[in-house]
């Protein structure tokens, strides 16, 4: 059964993103583990990627001394921590399996991390949807300074996911300007490669390679989009772009709406112009950066293009300025 909305849990069902996975592990496996912020649009596969990184067999493949590492993964969307103390308490309890401890969670956590460091252990916290923390006003600046201090002084790193750069998702200016964010290397999570997209679609359906290639060319190698397509078109047949548009575009519009909703208002005009094959000015292109970083727009031979005819058609026909209402605060 195809479930486009559910993140992939099993490593053998995870497709592509080899470069990103390699880059994440090269940073985790550095002499002093380094923090990574994985940034990607909604349903691009961030949680699936984090699940994949959390898989012990995969860790074994990429890390030289896997046994030196302690990984924990927290889904911040599900957990909804009330404040910094409850978050630290949860992390501490997960790490130590000690439910009975109580006290100053900052101190307890620091002591634990210090002990790990002194015994040569490396601690990796996988924090899914980290913007639920940065946007929560009950997490003060001291909390982020504390996290930074741990990473500065001990063998500890964070791998976070968020739909935009974390600085753009902060509840307060002082947190946004905090040097905490300096410790991260941002990695944009983009599309799959076309061959990976084709393989995924073929695995989900009974369609031929040629049919899969045609479909991927139209809608682009995005796992979520391909899964929706596989729900609708899963038997061999002869389809063309018009048919895809008729069957799939209504299904995909809601997703594309979410993708563009992170853009500032100023992005409307250049995006529409681009769909009409007009080249926006460099300054206007800047407003489209979030889409470029996530590969929904690609620069090809100094020319900016849509990643797929499906997305281009959506912008041309369905995209309206009202969708960008209220998004200025992100920028």
**Residue numbers at the binding site for other proteins (CB under 8 A):** 19, 22-23, 26-27, 29-32, 34-35, 118-120, 141-142, 145-146, 148-149, 151-153, 165, 167, 177, 179, 181-188, 281-283, 285-286, 289, 293
Of residues 35 and 211, the one with the C-beta less far from other proteins: 35
Of residues 105 and 181, the one with the C-beta less far from other proteins: 181
The residues near 300 (Cβ < 8 Å, ≥ 6 apart) are none
Contact 27, 185 (CB under 8 A): yes
Of residues 161 and 211, the one with the C-beta less far from other proteins: 161
137 DSSP assignment: T
Smallest separation, CB 46 to other proteins (Å): 15
List the helix and strand counts (H, then E) for the chain. Answer: 17, 7
Smallest separation, CB 260 to other proteins (Å): 21
d(CA 185, CA 39): 10
Cα 192 to the center of its chain, rounded Å: 13
Smallest separation, CB 287 to other proteins (Å): 11
Smallest separation, CB 219 to other proteins (Å): 24
Smallest separation, CB 318 to other proteins (Å): 29
| DSSP sequence for 146-206 | HHHHHHHHSSEEEEEEESS-GGGG-SSHHHHT-GGGGGEEEEE--PPPHHHHHHHHHHHSS
Q: What is the CA radius of gyration of the chain?
A: 21
Of residues 1 and 301, the one with the C-beta less far from other proteins: 301
Of residues 8 and 141, the one with the C-beta less far from other proteins: 141
């Amino acid at each position: 059964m195809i479930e486009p909305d559910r993140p992939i849990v099993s490593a053998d069902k995870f497709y592509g993103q080899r470069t990103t996975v390699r880059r994440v592990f090269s940073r985790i496996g550095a002499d002093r583990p380094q923090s990574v912020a994985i940034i990607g649009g909604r349903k691009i596969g961030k949680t699936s990627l984090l699940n994949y990184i959390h898989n012990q067999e995969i860790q074994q493949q990429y890390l030289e001394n896997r046994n030196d590492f302690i990984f924990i993964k927290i889904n911040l969307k599900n957990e909804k921590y009330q404040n910094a103390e409850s978050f630290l308490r949860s992390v501490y309890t997960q790490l130590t399996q000690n439910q009975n401890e109580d006290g100053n969670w900052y101190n307890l956590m620091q002591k634990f991390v210090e002990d790990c460091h002194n015994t040569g252990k490396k601690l990796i916290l996988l924090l899914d949807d980290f913007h639920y923390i940065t946007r929560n006003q009950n997490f003060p600046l001291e909390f982020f300074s504390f996290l930074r201090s741990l990473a500065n002084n001990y063998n500890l790193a964070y791998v976070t996911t968020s739909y935009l750069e974390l600085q753009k998702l902060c509840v307060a200016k002082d947190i946004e300007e905090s040097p905490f964010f300096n410790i991260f290397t941002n990695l944009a999570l983009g599309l799959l490669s076309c061959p990976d997209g084709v393989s995924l679609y073929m695995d989900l359906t009974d369609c031929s390679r040629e049919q899969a290639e045609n479909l991927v060319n139209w809608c682009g190698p995005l796992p979520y989009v391909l899964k929706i397509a596989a729900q609708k078109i899963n038997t061999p047949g002869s389809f063309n772009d018009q048919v895809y548009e008729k069957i799939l575009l209504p299904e995909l519009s809601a997703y594309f709406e979410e993708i563009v909703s992170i853009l500032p208002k100023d992005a409307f005009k250049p995006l529409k112009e681009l769909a009409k094959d007009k080249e926006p000015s460099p300054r206007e292109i800047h407003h489209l950066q979030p889409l470029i970083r996530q590969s929904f727009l690609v620069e090809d031979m100094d020319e900016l293009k849509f990643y797929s005819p499906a997305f281009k058609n959506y912008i041309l026909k369905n995209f309206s300025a009202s969708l960008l209402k209220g998004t200025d605060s992100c920028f």
